[in-house]
A and B are shown apart, each in its own frame.
Chain A
Amino acid sequence: MTRPRLTLPLGSPLQLLLLACSFALSAYAGVRLLDGEWFEIALWIVGAALVHDLVLLPLYAAADRLLVRASGPRRTWVGYVRVPAALSLLLLLVWFPLITGQVTTRYTAATALPADRFLEHWLLTTATLFAGSAVLFVGRRRRKPTAPRGR
Protein backbone atom coordinates (compact mmCIF):
# COMPACT_ATOMS: atom_id res chain seq x y z
CA MET A 1 0.00 0.00 0.00
CA THR A 2 2.71 2.52 0.99
CA ARG A 3 5.22 1.43 -1.58
CA PRO A 4 7.87 4.20 -1.76
CA ARG A 5 7.30 6.32 -4.82
CA LEU A 6 10.15 6.23 -7.28
CA THR A 7 8.84 8.87 -9.63
CA LEU A 8 8.13 12.48 -8.71
CA PRO A 9 4.57 13.71 -8.92
CA LEU A 10 4.05 16.40 -11.53
CA GLY A 11 2.75 19.18 -9.30
CA SER A 12 0.54 22.04 -10.43
CA PRO A 13 0.25 22.05 -14.24
CA LEU A 14 -0.40 25.79 -14.27
CA GLN A 15 2.82 26.46 -12.39
CA LEU A 16 4.61 24.07 -14.70
CA LEU A 17 3.41 26.04 -17.69
CA LEU A 18 4.49 29.32 -16.12
CA LEU A 19 7.94 27.94 -15.34
CA ALA A 20 8.26 26.62 -18.88
CA CYS A 21 7.55 30.13 -20.23
CA SER A 22 10.04 31.60 -17.81
CA PHE A 23 12.77 29.13 -18.79
CA ALA A 24 12.08 29.72 -22.47
CA LEU A 25 12.64 33.47 -22.04
CA SER A 26 15.75 32.95 -19.89
CA ALA A 27 17.11 30.42 -22.38
CA TYR A 28 16.52 32.77 -25.33
CA ALA A 29 18.60 35.43 -23.57
CA GLY A 30 20.91 32.83 -22.03
CA VAL A 31 22.31 31.50 -25.30
CA ARG A 32 23.18 35.09 -26.22
CA LEU A 33 24.65 35.75 -22.79
CA LEU A 34 26.84 32.65 -22.95
CA ASP A 35 28.06 33.43 -26.48
CA GLY A 36 31.61 34.19 -25.47
CA GLU A 37 33.42 33.07 -22.36
CA TRP A 38 30.48 30.78 -21.65
CA PHE A 39 32.06 28.79 -18.85
CA GLU A 40 33.29 31.82 -16.98
CA ILE A 41 29.96 33.60 -17.37
CA ALA A 42 28.00 30.59 -16.11
CA LEU A 43 30.49 30.33 -13.26
CA TRP A 44 29.86 33.96 -12.35
CA ILE A 45 26.09 33.44 -12.19
CA VAL A 46 26.12 30.17 -10.27
CA GLY A 47 29.11 31.35 -8.27
CA ALA A 48 27.35 34.59 -7.27
CA ALA A 49 24.51 32.59 -5.74
CA LEU A 50 26.82 30.10 -4.04
CA VAL A 51 29.31 32.65 -2.72
CA HIS A 52 26.49 34.72 -1.32
CA ASP A 53 24.55 31.86 0.26
CA LEU A 54 27.45 29.73 1.45
CA VAL A 55 30.18 32.28 2.24
CA LEU A 56 28.99 35.86 2.68
CA LEU A 57 25.77 35.14 4.55
CA PRO A 58 27.26 32.57 6.99
CA LEU A 59 30.16 34.96 7.64
CA TYR A 60 28.05 37.94 8.63
CA ALA A 61 25.54 35.79 10.48
CA ALA A 62 28.35 34.20 12.51
CA ALA A 63 29.90 37.60 13.23
CA ASP A 64 26.54 38.85 14.45
CA ARG A 65 26.03 35.78 16.63
CA LEU A 66 29.48 36.26 18.18
CA LEU A 67 28.63 39.87 18.92
CA VAL A 68 25.34 38.91 20.57
CA ARG A 69 27.04 36.22 22.63
CA ALA A 70 29.80 38.56 23.73
CA SER A 71 27.26 41.12 24.86
CA GLY A 72 26.09 39.05 27.84
CA PRO A 73 22.51 38.49 28.99
CA ARG A 74 21.42 42.16 29.15
CA ARG A 75 22.29 42.99 25.54
CA THR A 76 21.59 46.65 26.03
CA TRP A 77 24.41 47.78 23.76
CA VAL A 78 24.26 45.21 20.96
CA GLY A 79 22.29 47.43 18.62
CA TYR A 80 24.67 50.32 19.16
CA VAL A 81 27.53 48.24 17.76
CA ARG A 82 25.56 46.17 15.28
CA VAL A 83 23.98 49.04 13.38
CA PRO A 84 27.09 51.16 12.69
CA ALA A 85 29.14 48.03 11.96
CA ALA A 86 26.53 46.72 9.51
CA LEU A 87 26.26 50.09 7.75
CA SER A 88 30.01 50.47 7.52
CA LEU A 89 30.46 46.96 6.11
CA LEU A 90 27.65 47.60 3.65
CA LEU A 91 29.48 50.63 2.28
CA LEU A 92 32.68 48.59 2.08
CA LEU A 93 30.89 45.79 0.22
CA VAL A 94 29.41 48.14 -2.39
CA TRP A 95 32.44 50.37 -2.94
CA PHE A 96 35.11 47.73 -2.36
CA PRO A 97 37.05 48.36 -5.63
CA LEU A 98 37.33 52.11 -4.98
CA ILE A 99 37.96 51.89 -1.23
CA THR A 100 40.67 49.24 -1.53
CA GLY A 101 42.30 51.16 -4.37
CA GLN A 102 42.34 48.31 -6.85
CA VAL A 103 41.12 50.53 -9.68
CA THR A 104 43.13 53.64 -8.74
CA THR A 105 45.23 53.81 -11.91
CA ARG A 106 42.39 53.39 -14.38
CA TYR A 107 40.01 55.56 -12.34
CA THR A 108 42.34 58.53 -12.15
CA ALA A 109 43.52 58.18 -15.75
CA ALA A 110 39.93 58.13 -17.03
CA THR A 111 38.20 60.70 -14.82
CA ALA A 112 41.04 63.03 -13.76
CA LEU A 113 39.77 62.61 -10.19
CA PRO A 114 41.90 61.58 -7.22
CA ALA A 115 41.20 58.07 -5.94
CA ASP A 116 42.69 58.31 -2.48
CA ARG A 117 39.60 60.01 -1.07
CA PHE A 118 37.54 56.80 -0.99
CA LEU A 119 39.41 55.04 1.80
CA GLU A 120 39.55 58.29 3.73
CA HIS A 121 35.82 58.92 3.29
CA TRP A 122 34.92 55.37 4.25
CA LEU A 123 36.98 55.56 7.44
CA LEU A 124 35.50 58.95 8.31
CA THR A 125 31.97 57.71 7.63
CA THR A 126 32.61 54.65 9.78
CA ALA A 127 33.97 56.83 12.58
CA THR A 128 30.93 59.11 12.30
CA LEU A 129 28.52 56.16 12.44
CA PHE A 130 30.16 54.71 15.56
CA ALA A 131 30.46 58.12 17.20
CA GLY A 132 26.80 58.86 16.52
CA SER A 133 25.84 55.50 17.93
CA ALA A 134 27.93 56.11 21.06
CA VAL A 135 26.31 59.50 21.60
CA LEU A 136 22.86 57.93 21.30
CA PHE A 137 23.81 55.15 23.71
CA VAL A 138 25.13 57.50 26.34
CA GLY A 139 22.21 59.88 25.87
CA ARG A 140 19.62 57.18 26.30
CA ARG A 141 21.32 55.70 29.35
CA ARG A 142 21.43 59.09 31.03
CA ARG A 143 17.74 59.60 30.46
CA LYS A 144 16.81 56.25 31.98
CA PRO A 145 19.56 55.47 34.49
CA THR A 146 17.49 53.23 36.75
CA ALA A 147 15.29 51.40 34.27
CA PRO A 148 17.43 49.73 31.62
CA ARG A 149 15.34 48.02 29.01
CA GLY A 150 15.70 44.39 28.04
CA ARG A 151 15.34 41.35 30.16
Chain B
Amino acid sequence: MRRTPFSPSFWRSPLRGPWFTSVLGVVLLVGITVLFVTGLLSYAAYNPDLSPVNDKTPDKGLLGFYLFSWPTDPHWLYRLTQGVHVTLGITLIPVLLAKLWSVVPKLFTLPPARSVTHALERLSLLLLVGGGLFEFVTGVLNVQLDYIFPGSFYPLHFYGAWVFFGAFLAHAVLKMPTAWRNLRQLREERNDLVSVNPDPPTVSRRGALGLVGGGSLLLFGTTVGQGFDGLRWSAVLAPHGADPGSGPGGFQINKTAAYAGVTAADRSEEAWRLVVRGRTGTVRLSRAELLQLPLHSSSLPIACVEGWSTSDQWWRGVRLRDLAALVGYDGDPPDVFVQSLQRHGAFRRAALRANQVADPRSLLALFVNGEPLTPDHGHPARIIVPAAPGVLNTKWVAELTFGDL
Protein backbone atom coordinates (compact mmCIF):
# COMPACT_ATOMS: atom_id res chain seq x y z
CA MET B 1 0.00 0.00 0.00
CA ARG B 2 2.91 2.36 0.60
CA ARG B 3 3.44 2.73 -3.12
CA THR B 4 -0.10 3.74 -3.96
CA PRO B 5 -1.59 7.17 -3.43
CA PHE B 6 -4.20 5.64 -1.12
CA SER B 7 -1.53 5.18 1.55
CA PRO B 8 -0.79 8.29 3.67
CA SER B 9 2.95 7.55 3.49
CA PHE B 10 2.84 7.92 -0.32
CA TRP B 11 2.65 11.71 0.06
CA ARG B 12 6.11 12.97 0.84
CA SER B 13 6.15 16.71 0.43
CA PRO B 14 6.93 18.50 3.70
CA LEU B 15 5.19 21.61 2.35
CA ARG B 16 1.66 20.31 2.62
CA GLY B 17 -0.16 21.30 5.75
CA PRO B 18 -3.07 23.31 7.04
CA TRP B 19 -1.27 26.66 7.06
CA PHE B 20 -0.16 26.43 3.42
CA THR B 21 -3.63 25.34 2.26
CA SER B 22 -5.34 27.98 4.40
CA VAL B 23 -3.28 30.86 3.02
CA LEU B 24 -4.07 29.82 -0.55
CA GLY B 25 -7.71 29.18 0.38
CA VAL B 26 -8.21 32.65 1.80
CA VAL B 27 -6.62 34.26 -1.28
CA LEU B 28 -8.98 32.27 -3.49
CA LEU B 29 -11.98 33.06 -1.30
CA VAL B 30 -11.43 36.77 -1.85
CA GLY B 31 -10.25 36.45 -5.46
CA ILE B 32 -13.01 34.16 -6.68
CA THR B 33 -15.65 36.29 -4.99
CA VAL B 34 -14.36 39.27 -6.97
CA LEU B 35 -14.33 37.16 -10.16
CA PHE B 36 -17.91 36.07 -9.54
CA VAL B 37 -19.19 39.59 -8.85
CA THR B 38 -17.39 41.15 -11.82
CA GLY B 39 -18.66 38.28 -13.98
CA LEU B 40 -22.25 38.97 -12.91
CA LEU B 41 -21.69 42.67 -13.59
CA SER B 42 -20.47 41.86 -17.07
CA TYR B 43 -23.71 40.02 -17.76
CA ALA B 44 -25.70 43.02 -16.47
CA ALA B 45 -23.61 45.32 -18.68
CA TYR B 46 -25.07 43.64 -21.77
CA ASN B 47 -28.58 44.74 -20.67
CA PRO B 48 -29.86 41.23 -21.38
CA ASP B 49 -33.35 42.00 -20.10
CA LEU B 50 -33.72 44.81 -22.65
CA SER B 51 -33.92 42.68 -25.78
CA PRO B 52 -33.42 39.03 -26.75
CA VAL B 53 -30.57 40.03 -29.08
CA ASN B 54 -28.52 41.14 -26.07
CA ASP B 55 -29.16 37.95 -24.12
CA LYS B 56 -27.15 34.80 -24.82
CA THR B 57 -28.71 33.01 -21.82
CA PRO B 58 -32.44 33.67 -22.21
CA ASP B 59 -33.47 30.72 -20.02
CA LYS B 60 -31.58 32.12 -17.03
CA GLY B 61 -34.69 32.22 -14.83
CA LEU B 62 -33.91 33.35 -11.30
CA LEU B 63 -30.19 33.63 -12.06
CA GLY B 64 -30.90 37.03 -13.57
CA PHE B 65 -32.49 38.27 -10.34
CA TYR B 66 -29.99 41.06 -9.86
CA LEU B 67 -30.10 42.64 -13.33
CA PHE B 68 -30.31 46.42 -13.51
CA SER B 69 -30.02 49.15 -16.11
CA TRP B 70 -26.33 49.46 -16.87
CA PRO B 71 -25.24 53.06 -16.23
CA THR B 72 -23.14 55.28 -18.51
CA ASP B 73 -21.12 56.72 -15.63
CA PRO B 74 -18.26 56.48 -14.98
CA HIS B 75 -17.43 56.05 -18.65
CA TRP B 76 -14.64 53.58 -17.79
CA LEU B 77 -16.92 51.35 -15.71
CA TYR B 78 -16.92 48.28 -17.95
CA ARG B 79 -13.27 48.79 -18.77
CA LEU B 80 -12.57 48.49 -15.05
CA THR B 81 -14.92 45.64 -14.11
CA GLN B 82 -14.06 43.45 -17.06
CA GLY B 83 -10.36 44.30 -16.92
CA VAL B 84 -10.40 43.17 -13.30
CA HIS B 85 -12.38 40.04 -14.14
CA VAL B 86 -9.99 38.77 -16.81
CA THR B 87 -6.71 40.05 -15.40
CA LEU B 88 -7.47 38.80 -11.90
CA GLY B 89 -8.65 35.45 -13.26
CA ILE B 90 -5.34 34.98 -15.09
CA THR B 91 -3.40 36.18 -12.04
CA LEU B 92 -5.13 33.64 -9.80
CA ILE B 93 -4.19 30.61 -11.93
CA PRO B 94 -0.99 29.81 -9.98
CA VAL B 95 -2.90 30.16 -6.69
CA LEU B 96 -5.58 27.77 -7.93
CA LEU B 97 -2.98 25.25 -9.10
CA ALA B 98 -1.08 25.45 -5.82
CA LYS B 99 -4.29 25.09 -3.80
CA LEU B 100 -5.26 21.98 -5.75
CA TRP B 101 -1.75 20.58 -5.33
CA SER B 102 -1.85 21.19 -1.59
CA VAL B 103 -5.02 19.14 -1.07
CA VAL B 104 -4.55 16.39 -3.66
CA PRO B 105 -3.89 13.65 -1.04
CA LYS B 106 -7.50 14.12 0.09
CA LEU B 107 -8.69 12.84 -3.28
CA PHE B 108 -7.36 9.43 -2.28
CA THR B 109 -8.75 9.32 1.26
CA LEU B 110 -9.96 5.91 2.43
CA PRO B 111 -12.66 4.96 3.20
CA PRO B 112 -14.21 6.92 0.34
CA ALA B 113 -17.05 8.06 2.60
CA ARG B 114 -17.32 8.12 6.37
CA SER B 115 -20.89 9.36 6.42
CA VAL B 116 -23.66 10.50 4.10
CA THR B 117 -22.57 14.08 4.66
CA HIS B 118 -18.97 13.18 3.87
CA ALA B 119 -20.02 11.40 0.66
CA LEU B 120 -22.05 14.43 -0.43
CA GLU B 121 -19.21 16.76 0.46
CA ARG B 122 -16.88 14.79 -1.78
CA LEU B 123 -19.41 14.93 -4.61
CA SER B 124 -19.62 18.66 -4.03
CA LEU B 125 -15.82 18.84 -4.30
CA LEU B 126 -16.06 17.34 -7.79
CA LEU B 127 -18.31 20.25 -8.77
CA LEU B 128 -15.96 22.65 -7.00
CA VAL B 129 -12.77 21.43 -8.67
CA GLY B 130 -14.31 20.45 -12.02
CA GLY B 131 -16.53 23.52 -12.14
CA GLY B 132 -13.71 25.84 -11.08
CA LEU B 133 -11.28 24.46 -13.64
CA PHE B 134 -14.05 24.61 -16.27
CA GLU B 135 -14.55 28.32 -15.60
CA PHE B 136 -10.83 29.10 -15.74
CA VAL B 137 -10.28 26.95 -18.84
CA THR B 138 -13.24 28.36 -20.81
CA GLY B 139 -12.26 31.91 -19.85
CA VAL B 140 -8.61 31.46 -20.78
CA LEU B 141 -9.51 29.77 -24.09
CA ASN B 142 -12.10 32.41 -24.97
CA VAL B 143 -9.73 35.34 -24.59
CA GLN B 144 -7.38 33.53 -26.98
CA LEU B 145 -10.22 32.97 -29.48
CA ASP B 146 -9.73 29.21 -29.14
CA TYR B 147 -13.38 28.19 -29.34
CA ILE B 148 -12.92 24.47 -28.78
CA PHE B 149 -15.32 24.25 -25.84
CA PRO B 150 -18.62 22.41 -26.39
CA GLY B 151 -21.01 25.24 -27.19
CA SER B 152 -21.24 29.02 -27.09
CA PHE B 153 -19.00 30.74 -24.55
CA TYR B 154 -21.69 32.86 -22.92
CA PRO B 155 -24.02 30.10 -21.62
CA LEU B 156 -21.12 27.81 -20.74
CA HIS B 157 -19.27 30.43 -18.72
CA PHE B 158 -22.40 31.96 -17.14
CA TYR B 159 -24.21 28.79 -16.09
CA GLY B 160 -20.89 27.10 -15.30
CA ALA B 161 -20.15 29.97 -12.93
CA TRP B 162 -23.38 29.35 -11.02
CA VAL B 163 -22.80 25.58 -10.86
CA PHE B 164 -19.33 26.29 -9.52
CA PHE B 165 -20.52 29.01 -7.17
CA GLY B 166 -23.03 26.66 -5.51
CA ALA B 167 -20.20 24.30 -4.60
CA PHE B 168 -17.88 27.22 -3.76
CA LEU B 169 -20.34 28.65 -1.24
CA ALA B 170 -20.71 25.33 0.58
CA HIS B 171 -16.95 24.81 0.60
CA ALA B 172 -16.30 28.32 1.89
CA VAL B 173 -18.82 27.97 4.73
CA LEU B 174 -17.58 24.50 5.68
CA LYS B 175 -13.86 25.31 5.59
CA MET B 176 -13.64 28.98 6.47
CA PRO B 177 -13.63 28.47 10.26
CA THR B 178 -10.78 25.96 9.99
CA ALA B 179 -8.79 28.13 7.62
CA TRP B 180 -9.21 31.15 9.87
CA ARG B 181 -8.10 29.17 12.91
CA ASN B 182 -5.06 27.86 11.07
CA LEU B 183 -3.99 31.33 10.05
CA ARG B 184 -4.40 32.87 13.48
CA GLN B 185 -2.70 30.16 15.47
CA LEU B 186 1.02 30.40 15.83
CA ARG B 187 1.40 26.69 16.27
CA GLU B 188 -0.03 24.65 13.47
CA GLU B 189 -2.55 21.98 14.10
CA ARG B 190 -1.60 18.65 12.61
CA ASN B 191 -4.09 17.28 10.15
CA ASP B 192 -4.25 14.71 7.38
CA LEU B 193 -2.57 17.09 4.94
CA VAL B 194 0.70 16.90 6.85
CA SER B 195 2.91 14.13 5.48
CA VAL B 196 3.52 11.27 7.90
CA ASN B 197 6.69 10.42 6.04
CA PRO B 198 8.12 13.70 4.77
CA ASP B 199 11.12 14.07 2.49
CA PRO B 200 13.77 16.57 3.61
CA PRO B 201 12.63 20.03 2.52
CA THR B 202 14.12 21.55 -0.64
CA VAL B 203 12.26 24.81 -0.13
CA SER B 204 10.51 26.46 2.80
CA ARG B 205 6.75 27.00 2.87
CA ARG B 206 7.34 30.70 2.55
CA GLY B 207 9.60 29.99 -0.39
CA ALA B 208 6.87 27.93 -2.04
CA LEU B 209 4.34 30.70 -1.45
CA GLY B 210 6.89 33.05 -2.96
CA LEU B 211 6.97 30.93 -6.11
CA VAL B 212 3.16 31.00 -6.32
CA GLY B 213 3.14 34.75 -5.78
CA GLY B 214 5.94 35.15 -8.32
CA GLY B 215 3.92 33.21 -10.87
CA SER B 216 0.90 35.43 -10.22
CA LEU B 217 3.04 38.53 -10.48
CA LEU B 218 4.55 37.35 -13.76
CA LEU B 219 1.12 36.64 -15.26
CA PHE B 220 -0.25 39.93 -13.95
CA GLY B 221 2.72 41.91 -15.24
CA THR B 222 2.50 40.37 -18.70
CA THR B 223 -1.29 40.79 -18.97
CA VAL B 224 -2.40 44.03 -17.31
CA GLY B 225 -0.85 46.15 -20.08
CA GLN B 226 -3.53 45.07 -22.56
CA GLY B 227 -5.87 47.47 -20.79
CA PHE B 228 -3.77 50.59 -21.35
CA ASP B 229 -2.49 52.02 -24.64
CA GLY B 230 0.71 53.28 -23.03
CA LEU B 231 1.51 49.94 -21.36
CA ARG B 232 0.50 47.63 -24.17
CA TRP B 233 4.11 46.76 -25.00
CA SER B 234 4.41 45.09 -21.58
CA ALA B 235 1.64 42.58 -22.21
CA VAL B 236 4.09 40.32 -24.03
CA LEU B 237 1.94 37.18 -24.06
CA ALA B 238 -1.57 38.61 -23.71
CA PRO B 239 -3.76 38.49 -26.84
CA HIS B 240 -4.05 42.27 -27.19
CA GLY B 241 -0.49 43.19 -26.32
CA ALA B 242 0.35 44.83 -29.65
CA ASP B 243 -1.15 47.62 -31.75
CA PRO B 244 -2.47 47.11 -35.28
CA GLY B 245 -0.38 49.79 -36.93
CA SER B 246 -0.08 53.44 -35.95
CA GLY B 247 -1.96 56.65 -36.62
CA PRO B 248 -5.55 57.62 -35.77
CA GLY B 249 -6.90 54.10 -36.38
CA GLY B 250 -3.97 52.28 -34.79
CA PHE B 251 -5.84 51.04 -31.74
CA GLN B 252 -7.30 47.66 -30.81
CA ILE B 253 -9.71 45.89 -33.14
CA ASN B 254 -12.06 43.19 -31.88
CA LYS B 255 -13.21 41.94 -35.29
CA THR B 256 -11.96 43.27 -38.62
CA ALA B 257 -14.30 44.21 -41.47
CA ALA B 258 -13.14 41.17 -43.44
CA TYR B 259 -13.78 38.85 -40.48
CA ALA B 260 -17.28 40.26 -40.02
CA GLY B 261 -18.03 39.92 -43.74
CA VAL B 262 -18.34 43.66 -44.47
CA THR B 263 -17.15 44.51 -47.98
CA ALA B 264 -15.96 47.80 -49.46
CA ALA B 265 -19.04 47.75 -51.74
CA ASP B 266 -21.34 47.57 -48.69
CA ARG B 267 -19.64 50.61 -47.20
CA SER B 268 -19.34 52.72 -50.35
CA GLU B 269 -20.68 56.27 -50.54
CA GLU B 270 -23.17 55.19 -53.24
CA ALA B 271 -24.49 52.07 -51.55
CA TRP B 272 -24.56 52.92 -47.87
CA ARG B 273 -27.56 54.69 -46.35
CA LEU B 274 -28.27 54.90 -42.68
CA VAL B 275 -31.88 53.91 -42.06
CA VAL B 276 -33.41 55.58 -39.00
CA ARG B 277 -36.89 54.47 -37.94
CA GLY B 278 -39.09 55.94 -35.26
CA ARG B 279 -42.44 57.39 -34.25
CA THR B 280 -42.73 59.64 -37.28
CA GLY B 281 -41.50 57.22 -39.91
CA THR B 282 -38.26 56.33 -41.63
CA VAL B 283 -35.37 58.57 -42.61
CA ARG B 284 -32.55 57.54 -44.92
CA LEU B 285 -29.25 59.41 -44.67
CA SER B 286 -26.06 59.18 -46.69
CA ARG B 287 -22.77 59.78 -44.95
CA ALA B 288 -22.64 63.25 -46.54
CA GLU B 289 -26.06 64.05 -45.14
CA LEU B 290 -25.03 62.83 -41.70
CA LEU B 291 -22.08 65.22 -41.83
CA GLN B 292 -24.57 68.10 -42.21
CA LEU B 293 -26.08 67.30 -38.79
CA PRO B 294 -24.55 68.83 -35.63
CA LEU B 295 -21.36 66.91 -34.82
CA HIS B 296 -20.18 66.36 -31.26
CA SER B 297 -17.08 64.87 -29.67
CA SER B 298 -16.54 62.48 -26.80
CA SER B 299 -13.50 60.71 -25.39
CA LEU B 300 -14.39 57.10 -24.72
CA PRO B 301 -12.59 53.75 -24.55
CA ILE B 302 -13.35 50.44 -26.22
CA ALA B 303 -13.56 47.73 -23.55
CA CYS B 304 -13.97 44.10 -24.55
CA VAL B 305 -15.48 41.19 -22.66
CA GLU B 306 -12.12 39.51 -23.32
CA GLY B 307 -10.60 41.86 -20.75
CA TRP B 308 -8.55 44.14 -22.98
CA SER B 309 -9.40 47.77 -23.54
CA THR B 310 -8.08 50.90 -25.18
CA SER B 311 -7.46 54.19 -23.50
CA ASP B 312 -9.96 56.94 -24.36
CA GLN B 313 -10.18 57.65 -28.09
CA TRP B 314 -11.47 60.90 -29.47
CA TRP B 315 -14.69 60.18 -31.34
CA ARG B 316 -16.73 62.64 -33.40
CA GLY B 317 -20.19 62.10 -34.79
CA VAL B 318 -23.91 62.62 -34.38
CA ARG B 319 -25.50 62.25 -30.97
CA LEU B 320 -27.83 59.27 -30.74
CA ARG B 321 -30.45 61.46 -29.09
CA ASP B 322 -30.29 63.89 -32.03
CA LEU B 323 -30.98 60.97 -34.36
CA ALA B 324 -33.90 59.96 -32.14
CA ALA B 325 -35.22 63.52 -32.44
CA LEU B 326 -35.17 63.19 -36.24
CA VAL B 327 -37.80 60.46 -36.03
CA GLY B 328 -40.13 61.97 -33.48
CA TYR B 329 -38.48 61.54 -30.11
CA ASP B 330 -37.59 65.12 -29.31
CA GLY B 331 -36.40 65.40 -25.73
CA ASP B 332 -37.45 61.90 -24.64
CA PRO B 333 -35.09 59.46 -26.33
CA PRO B 334 -36.29 55.83 -26.10
CA ASP B 335 -34.36 52.56 -26.49
CA VAL B 336 -32.78 51.79 -29.83
CA PHE B 337 -32.36 48.62 -31.82
CA VAL B 338 -29.15 48.68 -33.86
CA GLN B 339 -28.43 46.58 -36.92
CA SER B 340 -25.03 46.25 -38.56
CA LEU B 341 -23.95 45.54 -42.10
CA GLN B 342 -21.89 42.65 -40.78
CA ARG B 343 -22.86 39.19 -41.99
CA HIS B 344 -21.36 37.18 -39.13
CA GLY B 345 -21.13 37.75 -35.43
CA ALA B 346 -23.40 37.12 -32.46
CA PHE B 347 -23.89 40.85 -31.93
CA ARG B 348 -24.63 42.08 -35.47
CA ARG B 349 -27.92 43.18 -33.89
CA ALA B 350 -27.86 44.87 -30.48
CA ALA B 351 -30.09 46.98 -28.30
CA LEU B 352 -29.25 50.07 -26.24
CA ARG B 353 -31.35 51.33 -23.37
CA ALA B 354 -32.92 54.78 -23.16
CA ASN B 355 -30.36 55.98 -20.58
CA GLN B 356 -27.57 55.07 -23.01
CA VAL B 357 -29.28 56.81 -25.93
CA ALA B 358 -29.93 59.91 -23.83
CA ASP B 359 -26.31 60.34 -22.70
CA PRO B 360 -24.84 63.31 -24.61
CA ARG B 361 -21.58 61.36 -25.06
CA SER B 362 -23.31 58.53 -26.94
CA LEU B 363 -22.59 58.98 -30.62
CA LEU B 364 -23.04 57.53 -34.00
CA ALA B 365 -19.35 58.16 -34.65
CA LEU B 366 -18.06 59.09 -38.09
CA PHE B 367 -14.53 60.06 -37.08
CA VAL B 368 -11.99 58.84 -34.60
CA ASN B 369 -8.89 60.74 -33.50
CA GLY B 370 -9.49 63.40 -36.15
CA GLU B 371 -9.82 61.11 -39.18
CA PRO B 372 -12.75 59.27 -40.78
CA LEU B 373 -13.26 55.81 -39.26
CA THR B 374 -11.16 53.09 -40.84
CA PRO B 375 -12.97 50.04 -42.24
CA ASP B 376 -11.88 47.92 -39.28
CA HIS B 377 -13.18 50.48 -36.80
CA GLY B 378 -16.63 50.55 -38.34
CA HIS B 379 -16.61 52.91 -41.36
CA PRO B 380 -19.00 54.43 -42.45
CA ALA B 381 -20.47 54.82 -38.95
CA ARG B 382 -20.38 53.12 -35.60
CA ILE B 383 -21.99 53.38 -32.20
CA ILE B 384 -19.93 54.54 -29.25
CA VAL B 385 -21.57 54.58 -25.80
CA PRO B 386 -19.90 55.32 -22.45
CA ALA B 387 -19.31 52.30 -20.17
CA ALA B 388 -20.91 49.80 -22.57
CA PRO B 389 -19.22 46.50 -23.45
CA GLY B 390 -17.36 46.61 -26.77
CA VAL B 391 -19.82 44.47 -28.70
CA LEU B 392 -22.66 46.90 -27.98
CA ASN B 393 -20.64 49.63 -29.71
CA THR B 394 -21.89 48.27 -33.04
CA LYS B 395 -19.66 48.88 -36.05
CA TRP B 396 -20.80 49.34 -39.69
CA VAL B 397 -24.23 50.51 -38.53
CA ALA B 398 -26.99 50.03 -41.12
CA GLU B 399 -30.21 50.66 -39.21
CA LEU B 400 -31.33 52.36 -36.04
CA THR B 401 -34.87 51.67 -34.85
CA PHE B 402 -35.89 53.97 -32.01
CA GLY B 403 -38.75 52.97 -29.76
CA ASP B 404 -39.47 51.19 -26.49
CA LEU B 405 -38.16 47.64 -26.64
CB distance from B13 to the nearest CB of A (A): 8
Contact with B along A79-115 (1 / 0, CB 8 A): 1001100110011011101110011001101111110
Indicate whether A97 sits within 8 Å of B146 (C-beta atoms), given known contacts A29-B159, A68-B202, A91-B237. Answer: yes
Contact A11 B145 (CB under 8 A): no
Chain B interface residue count, CB cutoff 8 Å, equals 80
Interface of chain B, main secondary structure? helix
**CA separation between A149 and B207, bound complex, in Å?**
15
Contact A114 B242 (CB under 8 A): yes
Q: Which of B61, B140, B256, B259 contacts A94 (CB 8 A)?
A: B140
Contact A97 B256 (CB under 8 A): no
Contact A90 B127 (CB under 8 A): no
Contact B117 A10 (CB under 8 A): yes
CB distance from B48 to the nearest CB of A (A): 14
Contact with A along B107-119 (1 / 0, CB 8 A): 1000001111111
Query: Does A18 belong to the interface (CB within 8 Å)?
Result: yes
8 Å CB contacts to B: which residues of A17-47?
18-19, 21-30, 32-33, 35-37, 40-41, 43-47
Chain A interface residue count, CB cutoff 8 Å, equals 70
Query: Does A145 belong to the interface (CB within 8 Å)?
Result: no
| Interface set of B (CB-CB < 8 Å, partner A) | 57, 59-63, 90, 93-94, 97, 100-101, 104, 107, 113-121, 124, 126-127, 129-131, 133-134, 137, 140-141, 144-146, 149-151, 155-156, 159-167, 169-170, 173-174, 200, 202-203, 207, 211, 214-215, 218-219, 222, 236-237, 239-240, 242, 244-245, 252-256, 258-259, 376
Would you give 22 A-B contacts (Cβ < 8 Å), ordered by A? A11-B118, A15-B174, A22-B166, A22-B170, A26-B127, A28-B62, A33-B156, A37-B150, A41-B151, A43-B150, A44-B134, A44-B150, A45-B127, A86-B215, A90-B97, A91-B219, A94-B219, A94-B237, A110-B253, A111-B244, A113-B244, A117-B242
